[in-house]
Structure 1
Amino acid sequence: MSEQPIGEPPASGPEAPRPRIPGNPLVWLTGGALLVAVIALVIAIVAVSGGGGDAKPSGQSGTAGATGPVGPAPGAGGSAGAPPTGPAGPAPAPSAVPADCPKATTTVSDAKDLEDALSAAQPGNVIVLRDGVYEGKFVASKAADKDNPIYLCGGSGAVLDGGGVKAGYVLHLDGASYWRVLGLTLRNGQKGLMADHVQGALIQGLTVEQIGDEGIHLRNFSSDNVVRGNTVRNTGNRRDTFGEGIYVGTAESNWCTVSDCKPDNSDRNVVEGNTITDTTSESVDIKEGTTGGQVINNTFDGAKFSGSHADSWIDVKGNDWLIQGNQGHNSKLDGFQTHEVVKGWGSNNVFKGNTAEVNGPGYGFNFTPVNGNKADCDNKVTAADKGFGNIPCA
């Protein structure tokens, strides 16, 4: 087929001839290839320099035009597929500060900071402890008020360590009314937490362990306090006779030492929802002189009872207490007891809805003397060799 002359309109139809390229076809082909190469080079230069609107999104590694940092090549610094070397991963998360704790006004990280914060505390302050071990015996002595309590908070990883079980209190609330002590771990003192002359305090969510005598003690006219949701264990490491878990009031033999020779009227205290195990003496000891408190919904295990007076989970020597909804397992003798140590005390206490798996030689309920004390028939007693009680249920 002959070439079509320049300037003539193309032929129509399926047999129309192809347009004729003027000049040498080899020159045209060479020039076109050169033009394509130049265009490709320009595009490549623009892409490498980060220009243009079509760059890959940030973070796509190994691609020209990525705006984020480029990651190491696979296998760099080690065998193929090995993770890159560098600092260790994040440390374990700190233990959580209790949700009931407001935002900190003071945050402490060592024993000296804590001592200073306790000394300077004013109503409305919130002292928060970072995780760590705080060695020493700590005292709070500034009273707050009902509408502006003082908070002392930390997670279980914030540990107050008293340095030994022979003497001293790990934490002493000395006249520190309306404090809120939440979440901490207390260990390694003669007593864990001692409250003297304290009103309206909340002691909640603590772990109290490795203690010489009692775990938590309210005394010296400490009234209207709440001890709730704590774990108390491993007490009596100094003398097993004094290894109670929670202790309310003062024995008559110590009234002249502690309460000016008067009955220690530590009244209307609430002991609720605590777990008390591995104590050498009673789980809860309620002393003569106390009135109108409650011990409710706690769990006890007396398998480690060994002290000379450790023969029940709860021993009530005060008046008008409500003992309700508790669960006890394993006792050296009885489940629940009352006693009249001082004339007129140890009377009119009510026991309701408790569960006693005694696994011991005594009663579920042993009232000596009865003195108006009452055990309702909704209490459940098992594995007590002498049966439900020394009196019938009411």
Structure 2
Amino acid sequence: MRSLRAVAVTAAVALLGAAVPYLTGTAAHAAGPVLRATVTQVSVWATGYGADVTVTNTGDAPATGWTVSFDLPAGSTVSSSWSAVRTQSGQRYTFTNVGWNGTVNPGASQTFGFNAAGLGTPVSCTVNGGSCAGGPATSASPSPSAPPSPSPSPSGPPPSSPPPGGPVVDVATAAQLSSALSTVSPGVTIRLAPGTYRGAFATTRAGTADARITLTGPRTAVLINDGPSGTGPSCPAPTAGWDSGYGLWLFDAPYWNLTGFTVAESKKGIVLDNSHHVTISSVYVHHTEDEGVHFRRSSADGIIRDSIVEYTGLVQPGYGEGVYLGSAGSNWACHGNSGGADRSDRVQVLNNRIGPYVAAEHIDVKEGTFDGVIRGNTFDGRGISGQNSADSWIDAKGIGYLIENNIGTFAAPGTFVNGYETHNPATTPSFLNGCGNVWRANSSNLGGVGQYAIRVTSTSKCAGNLNVVHASNTVTNATTGLTNIAVTP
């Protein structure tokens, strides 16, 4: 197990070393603040990449605000960003600090990030009007660095920044992070410095609707759990002497924001138990033994958006879901804390890239959950295992989900049967599971292997609450067709 994690860590370090080369240079000494900016690609996929931008003050006085601007060549766009206010004029993008990261002391730095659709890298970069490399300002004319490419990568509005009104606790070590998670109060932001944090990171501290708790950091802040160890309780709960192996665990901890950082090399990635109204934005979860992100034990009204989940199920492929909503009915004895069911309802999965090498379903919608939204995501089916019936991007066993504007593809290697499937497991308490779901404007490329883009297992079990497949869905490279039920205009 540990040798597997060592390989994955090496791969992640290699990825983090890819910086945009034209942004290197030495700034001349000058009185007052002198800012430079460096763009570093931290993840790259076939149709885009994620990047961190570090603003460093090489001068001898604090900077009290910063603005970074750059062009992207035609065919590339910024699809999402975090920890900055983003504006756009044509192909030129401008990022201005938010309240909590505007001050850059001498020798210090602040970081924001973005995801790009397309592979073109920034050109004509300026920070506060001067060259990002520390020299004079450059022209704003774009020069292409990569050919245009289609962009099924995440898109949507930038995630919320940490609230500027509350106090900020800066942490730079695993011990500091553990302490902050165990003592944090509503309205506080825990801010991670770049670096690797190894340990069992869990919290039972609750925020409130008016004073959320925020954990934020750059993509280069990486949480790793080398567990599990010890003997746990019969149902998972934070217990002295037991390490769950989860990368980050919120238990009875509602109203949190989790933004920007990475969780890797853990048994599970991010697990929410009875932690409602949690927003996960712009995180990177990869190389987990089981699932990537799990909303569990009635963690309702949550959001995961503008994030990347890949390389899951490295040890148990059949349990390597990308995003897991709810619990199987067979596990409600542990997680059925709402009238005997796991009611992780109304979770929104928005504008994420899930895959490649997600070994089970990209999103597993469990029975007894209601009224979620799955919109604007990109599913890369390479590496799906077929184990434990994992042979589709989404298995919809929940009720009343809206699934729209997603882009799914499949290519070898992997085992793939249908793009989207429904199933109708019986549960106690009883629900019309796998019913009332709606598919609209999804694009599916089944790679010449998959049968249907959307396969509805049963209509008779959903009497009065039928699944609906709209004609706006499209499919290519299917062995059978769009769907096995009548299409709704």
TM-score interval, smaller chain: 0.7 to 0.9
Matched with 1:352 is 440
Asked if 1:386 corresponds to 2:475, the answer is: no
Asked if 1:367 corresponds to 2:460, the answer is: no
The CA distance in 2 between the partners of 1:231 and 1:381, in whole Å, is 24
Aligned-pair CA distance for 1:99:
7.0
**3-state SS of paired residue (1:96):** strand
Which residue of 325, 333, 347 corresponds with 1:256? 333
The CA distance in 2 between the partners of 1:364 and 1:307, in whole Å, is 17
The answer to whether the 8 A contact 2:446-2:475 is kept is yes
Q: Quick one: which amino acid aligns to residue 374 of structure 1?
A: V
The CA distance in 2 between the partners of 1:150 and 1:377, in whole Å, is 42
Aligned-pair CA distance for 1:175:
1.2
Aligned-pair CA distance for 1:326:
0.5
Aligned-pair CA distance for 1:96:
3.0
For residues 43-88 of structure 1, the C-alpha deviation after alignment (integer angstroms, 9 at most, x for no partner) is xxxxxxxxxxxxxxxxxxxxxxxxx9xxxxxxxxxxxxxxxxxxxx
Q: Quick one: which amino acid aligns to residue 179 of structure 2?
A: D
Larger C-alpha radius of gyration, 1 or 2?
A: 1
The CA distance in 2 between the partners of 1:131 and 1:236, in whole Å, is 26
Asked if 1:306 corresponds to 2:388, the answer is: no
- 1:3-82 aligned within 5 A: none
For residues 72-127 of structure 1, the C-alpha deviation after alignment (integer angstroms, 9 at most, x for no partner) is xxxxxxxxxxxxxxxxxx99977537871245521000011011111111011011
With over 3 angstroms needed to count, the CA separation of the structure-2 counterparts of 1:180 and 1:99, relative to structure 1, is closer
The answer to whether the 8 A contact 1:94-1:131 is kept is no
Matched with 1:101 is 162
Aligned-pair CA distance for 1:259:
1.7
The CA distance in 2 between the partners of 1:220 and 1:258, in whole Å, is 5
Asked if 1:320 corresponds to 2:400, the answer is: yes
Q: Quick one: which amino acid aligns to residue 162 of structure 1?
A: N
**3-state SS of paired residue (2:343):** coil
Matched with 1:281 is 360
The CA distance in 1 between the partners of 2:399 and 2:313, in whole Å, is 27
The CA distance in 2 between the partners of 1:276 and 1:237, in whole Å, is 15
With over 3 angstroms needed to count, the CA separation of the structure-2 counterparts of 1:117 and 1:376, relative to structure 1, is same
The answer to whether the 8 A contact 2:225-2:245 is kept is yes
The CA distance in 1 between the partners of 2:347 and 2:379, in whole Å, is 19
Matched with 1:337 is 421
Q: Quick one: which amino acid aligns to residue 328 of structure 1?
A: G
Q: Quick one: which amino acid aligns to residue 382 of structure 1?
A: T
The answer to whether the 8 A contact 2:386-2:416 is kept is no
The answer to whether the 8 A contact 1:95-1:131 is kept is no
**3-state SS of paired residue (2:476):** strand
Aligned-pair CA distance for 1:165:
8.0
Asked if 1:162 corresponds to 2:178, the answer is: no
Asked if 1:123 corresponds to 2:186, the answer is: yes
Aligned-pair CA distance for 1:214:
0.5
Q: Quick one: which amino acid aligns to residue 351 of structure 1?
A: W
The CA distance in 2 between the partners of 1:99 and 1:255, in whole Å, is 33
The answer to whether the 8 A contact 1:94-1:157 is kept is no
- RMSD over aligned CA atoms reads 2.1
Asked if 1:134 corresponds to 2:212, the answer is: no
With over 3 angstroms needed to count, the CA separation of the structure-2 counterparts of 1:298 and 1:133, relative to structure 1, is same
Matched with 1:265 is 343
The CA distance in 2 between the partners of 1:94 and 1:283, in whole Å, is 33
The answer to whether the 8 A contact 2:254-2:278 is kept is yes
The CA distance in 2 between the partners of 1:217 and 1:274, in whole Å, is 15
**3-state SS of paired residue (2:175):** helix
The answer to whether the 8 A contact 1:101-1:153 is kept is yes
The CA distance in 1 between the partners of 2:471 and 2:265, in whole Å, is 41
The answer to whether the 8 A contact 2:352-2:376 is kept is yes
The CA distance in 2 between the partners of 1:377 and 1:137, in whole Å, is 47
The CA distance in 1 between the partners of 2:301 and 2:406, in whole Å, is 20
Q: Quick one: which amino acid aligns to residue 289 of structure 1?
A: G
- 1:176-195 aligned within 5 A: 176-195=253-272
Q: Quick one: which amino acid aligns to residue 181 of structure 2?
A: L
The answer to whether the 8 A contact 1:164-1:188 is kept is no
Higher RCO structure, 1 or 2 (CA under 8 Å, sep 6+): 2
The CA distance in 2 between the partners of 1:164 and 1:117, in whole Å, is 20
Matched with 2:119 is none
**3-state SS of paired residue (1:116):** helix
The CA distance in 2 between the partners of 1:170 and 1:362, in whole Å, is 36
The CA distance in 1 between the partners of 2:273 and 2:360, in whole Å, is 22
Query: What percentage of aligned pairs have identical amino acids?
Result: 36
With over 3 angstroms needed to count, the CA separation of the structure-2 counterparts of 1:221 and 1:335, relative to structure 1, is same
Q: 303-312 vs 160-169, which deviates more?
A: 160-169
Aligned-pair CA distance for 1:133:
0.4
Matched with 2:206 is 143
Matched with 1:244 is 321
Aligned-pair CA distance for 1:352:
0.5
Matched with 1:114 is 177
Higher strand share: 2
Task: Give the TM-score taking structure 1 as reference length.
Answer: 0.74
> Which runs of 5 or more structure 1 residues have no equivalent in the other structure?
1-67, 69-89
The CA distance in 2 between the partners of 1:204 and 1:178, in whole Å, is 14
Matched with 2:70 is none
Q: Quick one: which amino acid aligns to residue 107 of structure 1?
A: D
